[in-house]
Amino acid sequence: MKFEKDLKVPDSIPQVGIEQAIKLMETGKLYRYNFSTNFEEDSGRKIIDRELASEVAKLESEFSSYTGHKYAIAVNSCGSALFLSLKAAGIEFQDKVLTNAFTFTAVPSSIVHAGGIPLYVECNQQYLIDLEDLKSKIEANPDVKFFVLSHMRGHISDVDAIQEICNQAGIYLIEDCAHSLGSQWYDDKIEKHVPVGHHGQISCFSSQSYKLMNSGEGGFVATDDEKIAAYCILAAGSYEKLYKKHISRPFDEGLFESLKPEVPNFSLRMTNLTAAIIRPQIPTLSEKISQYQQNYNQLANILATVDNLSVPSPLERVKRVPDSIQFNLVNFTSKQAEEFLRQTGSRGVTMQIFGHMDNARYFKNWKYSFEDLPALEQTEQIVSFACDLRLPLSLNVEDINLIGYIIKDVIYKIVASENRIDYKEGLTDNFQDLDEVVSKYDKWVSFYDEEHHNNGWKILLNHFAYTLNSYLKADDKILDVGCGTGLLAKELSSYNLQNLHGTDISKESLKLAEKLNIYQSLSVGELGKKLDFADNTFDAWVSSGVFTRKQVPLNAFEELNRILKPNGLIMVAFRVEDDDYYYNKIKEYCNQNILEEVWKTRLGVLKSCNHDLVILRKIGNP
């Protein structure tokens, strides 16, 4: 199965923004200072008629209200905002500036642009600043004065701890919030979440197409510091008395006039056209954010069942805005990682690995910023297997399921292709009696899951769960027949099927299933005998690896049909080598109009999962 939507697609511009942009073009007033009104202070009262302000001036005022900063200055990119921030903070030629080793090239570039020398800090397994490394870098470089902390991909480091470390060392903290607009940090003093971007003296934002707001290009400096604000307004390109056209500014003419001769004009202004298309996006942010969070949580839940993949967990105090997902491939070789990218890509799920020689987020590609390659072994190790996948707003629940399915399918296939072993201990021959079945399974328990992960059985379970999910609702009551250690249920619950009940003959297996905490109930049950459930109890029963090698008598189907609701579903896997022993019985039921086959596929990938997967609907009773 292939994913067909474009994952690179940016968010569209709200209609109001498009219309406002056209109006502006008709008047030709695209320059932010084309609007002639000055905003003055009259005996302590600010005289502001917002209607007369330019789009950019209005946007700055609205943006700063959103982020909770006193002042915002709109510029042409976040890279420019970072550059301006460093200049405003007083950087001098060849000053050292701490920053993340895991970030985007625009960040060290802005430091180089401002004349500084980046000093990279390692990230940890969760893609956050390694605080120990930060401390030792500061100790080794007592002359370092600045830290540009990048909330890369919206991963928020421990900003309280970082703020404390910076305060102690007299380091000026600037936050790169390009990818963290809308993110929140739990402030334990006021016991509330507050917007991220208030731990440093300056925060910088982006409205480049792949951020939460899209204007193609655009950025903001946000600060509570009057002098910084005045500097940035002037340096961004406000000359003579143009600063008076800003709504979001310190109303202190003396401050501007005294700074003016000292501040170069770097011409980094935002145009009215850009502001016009950003403004109507601000009221849409909270809805966008919850959509991003929903999609992300859904995908993270699907991926949580994969042993070879780890999704970084945010700090408890953080509410992220995840418009993309990152995860690490675990115990993969570089070759396997390449293969993973190739196979997912060819099925439409295009990803990148940060630590690629062509990736702008890999520090080794920032040669412009160092003479000798810095030793950053930890970051190197992490980014070499860190995958990055965009989750644009156009994705719906089904899209996320399909993406999750494809990622898991590829991983399971890669793992299985290197482990072409069949079962060590498991089931080889037909059974003599029930005792043999029970003792076999009880003994198998200790390496059952690992064996099934390695030999490709999970390819089947993933396909099984993904398909069944499209036929059922989240709260449909499902009986997992011969549930064993819960491998199938894990996959089912990853696709959000919640109302799961299990039954099995092996008590040892049930003990492990219990530990998963995903079943509503578990019980010992012998197939072919009476089961302890009332008639018409379940919306579906499912079973994999059970109806095989004649270990269950054929009459088990009758009892299972009894406890299934009318129109209820059966999804069951039959081993191809079993000479259709069970499948023939099912076909008999179909001929008698007791069951109806609704879907069937053959998974012939590997010997271990060479199975027919069948979905049937209950019509009547035998």
Q: State in angstroms the smallest separation of the CB of 155 from ligand PLP.
A: 10
| Nearest residue (CB) to ligand PLP, 78 versus 321 | 78
Order of all β-strands in the sheet with 117-121 = 71-75, 219-223, 202-206, 172-176, 146-150, 96-100, 117-121
Q: What is d(CA 103, CA 155) in angstroms, rounded to the nearest whole number?
A: 10
**CA quadruple 101, 105, 110, 116: dihedral sign:** positive
Rounded CA-CA distance 567/263 in Å is 76
Q: Which amino acid is at 533?
A: F
From the CB of 107, what's the least distance to ligand PLP, in Å?
5
Q: Which is nearer to ligand PLP, 201 or 343 (CB)?
A: 201
CB of 219 to ligand PLP, least distance (A): 5
C-alpha 179/C-alpha 221 separation (Å) is 14
Nearer residue to ligand PLP within complex by CB, 208 or 494: 208
Closest to ligand PLP by CB, 208 vs 295, is 208
Q: Which residues pair with 173 in a beta bridge?
A: 147
Secondary structure, 3-state, 327-354? EEECCCCHHHHHHHHHHHHHCCCCCEEC
Closer residue to ligand PLP (CB): 79 or 116: 79
* Cβ-Cβ contacts under 8 Å for 487 (sequence gap 6 or more): 448, 449, 452, 457, 458, 461
Task: Output the smallest distance, CB 240 to ligand PLP, in A.
Answer: 28
As beta bridge partners, residue 572 has 543, 614
> Under a CB-based contact definition with an 8 Å cutoff, are residues 89 and 174 in contact?
yes
Shortest reach from residue 361's CB to ligand PLP, in Å: 9
**Residue 173 vs 563, nearer CB to ligand PLP:** 173
What gap in Å lies between CA 477 and CA 117, rounded to an integer?
61
573 contacts 613 by C-beta, under 8 angstroms = yes
Residue (176 or 449) nearer to ligand PLP, CB: 176
CB of 152 to ligand PLP, least distance (A): 5
Comparison of 127 and 495: residue with beta carbon closer to ligand PLP = 127
Smallest distance, Å, CB 566 to ligand PLP?
54
Among candidates 597, 543, 540, which has minimal Cα distance to 575? 543
If the CB atoms of residues 80 and 454 are measured against ligand PLP, the closer one turns out to be 80
Minimal distance, residue 179 CB to ligand PLP, in Å: 4
Least CB distance to ligand PLP at residue 81 (A): 8
Q: How far is the CB of 28 from ligand PLP (least distance, A)?
A: 26
Best CA proximity match to 275, nearest among 113, 99, 424, 60? 60
Residues that bind ligand PLP (CB under 6 A): 77-79, 103-104, 106-107, 150, 152, 176, 178-179, 206, 208, 219
* DSSP of 241-260: TGGGG-SSS---HHHHHHHG
Question: d(Cα 412, Cα 598) in Å, to the nearest integer?
Answer: 27
Phi, psi of 512 (to 5 degrees): -70, -40
Q: For ligand PLP, which is the closer residue by CB, 103 or 344?
A: 103
Closer residue to ligand PLP in complex, CB, 78/459: 78
> Which C-beta is closer to ligand PLP: that of 84 or that of 613?
84
- For residues 204 and 271, what is the distance between their CA atoms, to the nearest angstrom? 18
**Cβ nearer to ligand PLP, comparing 178 with 406:** 178
Beta-carbon count within 10 A of 559 CB: 17
Residue 387's nearest CA partner among 340, 348, 346 is 340
Q: Is the distance from CB of 177 to CB of 195 less than 8 angstroms?
A: no
Buried b (16+ CB within 10 A) or exposed e, 587-620: eebeeeebbeeeeeeebebbebbebbbbbbbbee
Instruction: Provide the residue type at 541 as one letter.
Output: W
Residue type, 131: L
Minimal distance, residue 286 CB to ligand PLP, in Å: 21
Reduce the DSSP state of residue 175 to 3 states and report it. strand
